[in-house]
Structure 1
Amino acid sequence: MVRQAKKEVLAQLFQHYRACAQDNDAALYEIAMSELPEMVYHSNAIENSTLTLHDTEAIIMRDIITKDHEIREVFEAKNLAYVMTQLLNKPPEKLTTELLLSLHALLMAGIRHDIAGRFRSGKQWVRVGSHVGANPAFVPGLIAELLREYDQCDDEYFLDAIARFHAEFELIHPFLDGNGRIGRVIINQQLMQKGYPPIIIQSKHKHRDYYPLFDVYERTNRCDGFADLFALLLQESLHKRIALLSSRRVITVAQWAKRHGIAGNAAANKAARQTIPAFRMRGVWMIGDDAA
């Protein structure tokens, strides 16, 4: 569960964000669209795509394939970008089985037509490492139950509910392919439905910060690690939007640290812990130049 102190920090940040965001829908959309290559790159890299951020940006923004890549990876980048763009262009929808299937159909278009937009069935078992996904015969019912529980969790803190949904969704592994990417899309759909901006789960330390959380959930049914991770990333996303909407300009954390007489590694640690209002842009920690 997200600690009370963190909830209070997020509540204050959200109020500040809403004040900055008022009458700034166009700016918020452009910020989100500017993040699209990073969002797609990291989500695909978590699934071991060989595309770099530069490759991903060239494919999405300029329709250029910079070097030899498997056509599947090109489709994965384009399709995931399209899915996220669709979510950004529409008013947030209630999460339903139909929405899940439609998002999966878009994600798998041109990659696996035979499995696009449908749950596993028959003998379509899946395994990820030592974890075996749910029995295909029970997948539709398990997803319906998960959606119902999420829809009825009004008394649970929103990040705790989203964390539990993500952990359980990936444990079920309802699709033959694309579960991780769809799962991370759903996180942002759930955040946007509640008025929050999207987050980017970073791929760099996936073996330390992300993958182990699934093992913990499978063994203990605890999803605190996911909730804490999402809280930290949401802080960063809010800090970014507040800075871009209200600061004269943004500078690197390294520049900010030098200005304030702080060691560079100490400032980077503060940024990673979100004890300063820093955020990443193309892998570089940035901050508003007016940050104290």
Structure 2
Amino acid sequence: MSSFETGSFEGDPSTLTLEETEQILAGRLPTAPHELREVFEASNLARVTEDLLHVARTGAADVLTIGEILRWHGALLTGIRDDAAGRFRQGDEWVRVGSHLGANPPFVREMVERALERFQSEAPANIIERIAWFHCEFEMIHPFVDGNGRIGRVLMNHQLLRAGMPPVIVRARSRRTEYYPALDVYSRTDRHDEMTRLLALLVLEALRKRIALLTSPDVISLAQWARSADMRGNVAANRAKRQTLPAFRMRDRWMIASDHRE
């Protein structure tokens, strides 16, 4: 089990269903009882995502800055941790993620600035690899008291959008098996290969989803497609995870263009 799973400061996974999240985004409270934090998390993330897309469309932030990071973090934690929103850790605000100790608070800003400078000016030249490295380094610094994972994934999508690629979803169900282990590898070895591989697969999936929705008359479940293609369901699912099939997830269900042929 990854130390990043056992020591995460992001809180428990959300118990909101997709329908309840949609209710919150429409300005209504969910009918079932939930922690108020979950309601704020959903609505805050929606506002930040809208701003993220606006910035990407208008080119208002060609270069990611400390100011943008703090602004988005402040928006994410509004109503959740107002005392820590929009500022780096300071004083004796140490954080530990499993066996990893976040950066010394007085040096957090300097370390984030150095990571931004390296991302913008240094190798590796491959943009996916650069984004994966920056994300790992940002999470090792763990610059905030709370919300490090959420803001880190927001920044990842900002960088993807600025590079002309679609945003990705690091799904809660796969974090324990893929995302946290990739961070754990970086914390122990300084190697970001696993995060690069995961990010490349997520980008490929996001692209295939957009292509299918734009070019296919319909999308169907992967299980339905596998039956028509005389392929075992588990084989199709494994190929989807490796992206050797142009499948993608919608509402946590693997889908594929109905007219796809091998």
Whether TM-score is above 0.5 comes out as yes
Once the two structures are TM-superposed, the CA of residue 191 in structure 1 deviates from its matched residue by 0.3
Measure, in 2, the Cα distance between the counterparts of 1:140 and 1:65: 38
Question: When the two structures are aligned, how many residues end up with a matched partner?
Answer: 249
Whichever structure has more helix as a proportion of its residues is 1
Is contact 1:249-1:288 (8 Å) kept? Answer: yes
- Deviates further, 246-255 or 83-92: 83-92
1:139 aligns with 2:108: yes
| CA distance, structure 2, for counterparts of residue 205 and residue 87 of structure 1 | 24
- Counterparts of 2:178 and 2:21, CA distance in 1: 23
Question: How far, CA to CA, are the matches of 1:151 and 1:191 in structure 2?
Answer: 13
Q: Aligned pair 1:100/2:69, yes or no? A: yes
**Structure 1 runs of 4+ with >3 Å offset:** 44-47
Distance 2:227 2:187 in 1: 44
- Structure 1 residue 234, shift from structure 2 partner: 0.6
Return the letter of the residue paired with 1:188: N
- Give, in angstroms, the shift of residue 47 of structure 1: 5.1
C-alpha distance in structure 1 between counterparts of 2:11 and 2:204, whole Å = 21
Partner of 1:181: 150
In the other structure, the counterpart of 2:17 is 52
Give 1:219's aligned residue: 188
Identify which of 237, 245, 249 aligns with 2:206.
237
Partner of 2:95: 126
The percentage of aligned residue pairs carrying the same residue is: 51
| Counterpart check, 1:162 vs 2:131 | yes
- 2:178 is matched by which residue type in structure 1? D
State TM-score, norm by structure 1.
Answer: 0.81
- Matches of 2:229 and 2:82 in 1, distance apart? 55
- Quick one: distance in 2 between partners of 1:239 and 1:251? 14
Q: What SS is found at the alignment partner of 2:173?
A: coil
| Runs of 5+ unmatched residues, structure 1 | 1-43
> What's 1:279 paired with?
248
- Structure 2: runs of 5 or more not aligned: 1-8
Task: Identify if the C-alpha distance between structure 1 residues 45 and 149 changes in structure 2 by more than 3 Å, giving closer, same or farther.
Answer: closer
Pairwise CA distance, 1:149: 0.5
Is 2:168 aligned against 1:203? no
- TM-superposed deviation, 1:147: 0.5
1:247 and 1:289 in contact (8 A); partners too: yes
- The CA distance in 2 between the partners of 1:112 and 1:283, in whole Å, is 29
Shift of 1:45: 8.8
- Counterpart of 2:45 (choices 80, 84, 99) is 80
Question: Counterpart of 2:207 in structure 1: which amino acid?
Answer: L
Contact 2:49 2:154 in 1 (8 A): yes
With over 3 angstroms needed to count, the CA separation of the structure-2 counterparts of 1:197 and 1:255, relative to structure 1, is same
From 22, 29, 40, the equivalent of 1:64 is 29
CA contact (8 A) 1:251 1:287 kept: yes
Partner amino acid, structure 1, of 2:106: A
Partner of 1:191: 160
Report the Cα distance in structure 2 between the residues aligned to 1:156 and 1:61, rounded to whole angstroms.
Answer: 41
Q: Check the 8 A contact 2:220/2:257 in 1, yes or no.
A: yes
On the 8 A contact 1:45/1:203 being kept in 2, the answer is no
Q: 1:171 to 1:47 in 2, by over 3 A?
A: farther
For residue 287 of structure 1, give the secondary structure of its aligned residue in structure 2: strand
Given candidates 98, 113, 132, the residue that maps to 2:82 is 113
1:14 equivalent in structure 2: none
Moved more, 220-229 or 56-65: 56-65
- Provide the C-alpha distance between the structure 1 equivalents of 2:126 and 2:76, rounded to a whole number of angstroms: 29
